Amino acid sequence: MIVQYLVATACLLFVLSLPLGKLPFAGLLRRWAGFLFLVAFLPSLCFGLITTTQHQHGPSATPSRTGFSFGAVVGFIILSVIAYAILEVRKRLRPGKSADAWSDYVSLRTAGKRPVGGDRPARPASLFEDPDDR
Identity (one letter) of the amino acid at 16?
Answer: L
The DSSP call for residue 61 is S
Q: How many CB atoms lie within 10 A of CB 129?
A: 9
Single-letter amino acid, residue 113: K
Select from 74, 57, 58 the least CA-distant residue to 66: 74
pLDDT at 30: 93
CA distance 15 to 29: 9
CA-CA-CA-CA torsion sign (108, 109, 110, 112): positive
Q: What is the pLDDT of residue 122?
A: 62
Query: Which residue ranges in the chain fall short of pLDDT 70?
Result: 52-68, 95-99, 104-126, 130-134
Upper half-sphere CA count for residue 74 (Cβ side, 13 Å): 6
From CA 67, how far away is CA 71, in angstroms rounded? 6
pTM as predicted: 0.40
Strand ranges in the chain using DSSP code E only, listed in sequence order: none
